[in-house]
A and B are shown apart, each in its own frame.
Chain A
């Protein structure tokens, strides 16, 4: 079948759209990009669910839970382990860095299927209409997830509401549409990958092959190379903020890349400075007392008494939900289980509610599970790298727990409540 000639009598189907003329478009390009996205988004979803579990949202009275209405969506939750200590560094570093690197793949995939948005008639049948509605959720959901995530790591909280429910429920809406899309398109994708060449426009069942293709200015391999180069560039300018050390310098455009904010033992990355959350020197000075409660008892101790308790050292990282992390720091202080022993709960210490001097902020109160309290590396740290904690790192005392997300490593601790709260 040849292309319709202008002088030929009008053929039955409506005039094919001629706006989309790139000869690159076709099932094969879409299939290749689709397969990359399938792998990448699956990784993002799994690491995202792991991050949600790492917050222990099911703990106690839902202190850590920013999505109390989650219902069945939290059915998989489990006790987040305390080892390996780099676990959250790895999962969340992957979540954020791979997410950033997938942006060009997502854009290319959407570009490759854009003619389908304008197909006429808009819906051939009820089934087709349902599928297109599902595609709106798919595309809207993908962009919503990428945009909220990318804004959040740059501390640009423009989105309507708290990041946690938006990104979490948005992910489930997206995944509902994504799973259906994968199942529906998988057979055609596999065929496109096997056949290796695109069909002619007349035989095309996907509506992607241009009817009136423009002359090519780049090959399909070249286009894929460009997408790959974009991913690689984004990856190399972001990954360093999760690798730390020398690599941080390579993260030229990442929010916690480039260089460390200071020098010396307290020179590593800061999530929120003392000034940013309104912590003053008066509160953290000599007047500071730690309240330890639990088992019907209550103890108030100052810094000198804390230093008189057995001091332990643990080399642990700080890993933020925003994807950046630090290498291991040498923390030293009092074990959480030794503090539980102060109120007579030293044998089998329960979970603990940690409260900060901070007056506002989503995680000024955070709960830790019993397995986290019992780990010998879990400390109420007073020193780091041999020096006293700086105000920005939680002076006079902060929590440090292996493998836990940064927001649960409460700074400027004022009160620990073991057991019931």
Chain B
């Protein structure tokens, strides 16, 4: 299975590579005979070509897939099967009166993540690392802030409606009326968990620093060694 797919991919890659030469030689359309002649050629060094491979090659030629498809026939079949299912479910997903909004939610979720959330936290992390380096400390020390911040941010992201609802707004009242549970506790709990994570991280950093001071004191003179050890 794996071998077969790889050969198809390699074929596609070789065909792509072949394109510019072909263009230089006289345009997109290669003569059918020329294509057929080249198709079964084994890759250089591929001494033991499995029968499958040549057969797949012939099938490809027989299907006469437009060169521009760029992938094997199995790829096309897989894509068609996938789109058939997504289409079948998709028309049902969009069947309600609010289909434009559903589309917005579907595509918007991807766009919001890829173009807003991810760049935001990536930039925040980069700023953190730069700041750590700017203080003259090892860049790897950024992890002591990064880890509790990431974990706390994750909790906030997942439980945002409950946490933000506790901070005010109608959703806490709705939650309380529905479940008879207190809606105001989530902000407090999240802050406490965040404080706990930060305290743990600080404690860890402290222990590591003390450990290094105690064990590393005699070796302090060998600057190079000290520089090389962390950072990994």
Contact surface of A with B, Cβ cutoff 8 Å: 67, 69-73, 100, 103-104, 107, 110-111, 114, 117, 124-128, 130-131, 134, 136-137, 139-141, 143-144, 147, 150-151, 154-156, 159-162, 165-166, 169-170, 172-173, 175-177, 179-180, 183-184, 186-187, 190-191, 215-219, 222, 226, 229-230, 233-234, 237, 252-253, 255-256, 258-259, 261-262, 269-273, 275-276, 392
Contact = CB atoms under 8 A, between A and B. Distances in A.
* Consensus secondary structure, chain B interface: helix
Interface size range on B against A: 35 or more
B82 A172 contact: no
Interface in B149-186: 150-151, 154-155, 157-159, 161-163, 165, 171, 174-175, 177-181, 185-186
A329 B188 CA distance: 31
Contacts of A233: 151, 154-155
A27 to B, nearest CB: 14
B15 to A, nearest CB: 10
B109 A140 contact: yes
Contact of B89 (A169, A179, A276, A392): A169
A127 B71 contact: yes
B179 A137 contact: no
B177 A67 contact: no
A187 B180 contact: no
Nearest to B1: A187
Contacts of A230: 150-151, 154
A176 B82 CA distance: 5
Nearest to A229: B151
Contacts of B185: 258
B78 interface: yes
Interface stretch (B21-29, B46-54, B135-143, B202-210): B135-143
Given A125-B71, A151-B161, A252-B193, A173 B89 contact: yes
B142 A217 contact: yes
Contacts of A143: 109-110, 113
Ordered nearest first, which 4 A-B pairs have the shortest CB separation? A125-B70, A127-B71, A172-B89, A176-B85
A348 to B, nearest CB: 36
B85 A175 contact: yes
Given A124-B16, A159-B105, A229-B147, A273 B6 contact: no
Contacts of A156: 161, 165, 171
Nearest to A104: B154
B129 interface: yes
24 contacts: A114-B114, A114-B118, A124-B70, A125-B68, A131-B75, A139-B113, A143-B110, A144-B109, A147-B109, A160-B98, A162-B96, A169-B89, A173-B89, A180-B78, A217-B129, A217-B231, A226-B146, A234-B154, A234-B158, A237-B155, A255-B162, A270-B179, A273-B178, A273-B180
Given A125-B69, A161-B98, A217 B181 contact: no
B219 interface: no
A169 B106 CA distance: 12
Given A151-B161, A155-B174, A253-B190, A136 B93 contact: no
A219 to B, nearest CB: 6
Given A215-B231, A229-B151, A261 B181 contact: yes
- Most chain B CB neighbours (cut-off 10 Å) among A73, A134, A143, A258: A143
B179 A256 contact: yes
A307 to B, nearest CB: 27
Contacts of B86: 134, 137, 172-173, 176-177
Contacts of B175: 154-155, 255
A154 B95 CA distance: 26
Contacts of B118: 110-111, 114
B155 A154 contact: no
B79 interface: yes
Contact of A216 (B106, B189, B232): B232
Contacts of B1: 187
Contacts of B150: 226, 230
Contacts of A111: 118, 122
B92 interface: yes
A176 B92 CA distance: 14
Nearest to A69: B92
B157 to A, nearest CB: 7
Contacts of B70: 124-128
B177 A161 contact: no
Interface in B203-232: 231-232
B83 interface: yes
A270 B180 contact: yes
A166 B84 CA distance: 19
B68 A139 contact: no
A126 B69 contact: yes
B106 A141 contact: yes
A176 B142 CA distance: 40
Given A144-B106, A217-B143, A169 B71 contact: no
- Most chain B CB neighbours (cut-off 10 Å) among A72, A177, A186, A217: A217
A244 B147 CA distance: 30
A150 B89 contact: no
Given A165-B92, A222-B143, A170 B106 contact: yes
